[in-house]
Amino acid sequence: MLPFDLPDELNDIQEQADTVGFLTPREYARLRNMAPQMVYYYIRNKVIETDYCRCGRRVLNVQEADNRIQAQKEARSSKLDTGDASPTLD
């Protein structure tokens, strides 16, 4: 849960994530303090899967996205630790 001193917008987004479990890529980026481009990068590279809600907007499962991004970061970190990292982005 986020601290109470955040702007109302972030509290609303967190409430939606807690209640519904799905956010748009931009909302997710805002909530996790990421650049939207990074979220779309993860989508393009099949790290995060998206779906479409009944209203037609692209959404992602917040818990699944958190888990997959964390796993991606850990895998990349372990590659860097062992010296197996490639010079390109994963």
Measured distance CA(52)–CA(47) in Å, rounded: 17
pLDDT of residue 61: 97
* pLDDT recorded at residue 35: 97
Q: Do residues 60 and 49 make contact, with C-beta atoms less than 8 angstroms apart?
A: yes
**Residue 37, CA distances (Å) to 29, 53, 67, 80, 86 in order:** 9, 21, 19, 23, 21
User: Between β-strands 50-52 and 22-23, what pairing exists: parallel, antiparallel or unpaired?
Assistant: unpaired
Q: Domain ranges in the chain?
A: 11-82
Residue scoring higher pLDDT (49 or 6) = 49
Question: Which residues, 6 or more positions from 10, have their beta carbon under 8 angstroms from its beta carbon?
Answer: 2, 30, 31
Q: Which CATH number fits domain 11-82: 3.30.2450, 1.10.1660, 2.60.40, 1.10.1740?
A: 1.10.1660
pTM, 2 dp:
0.78
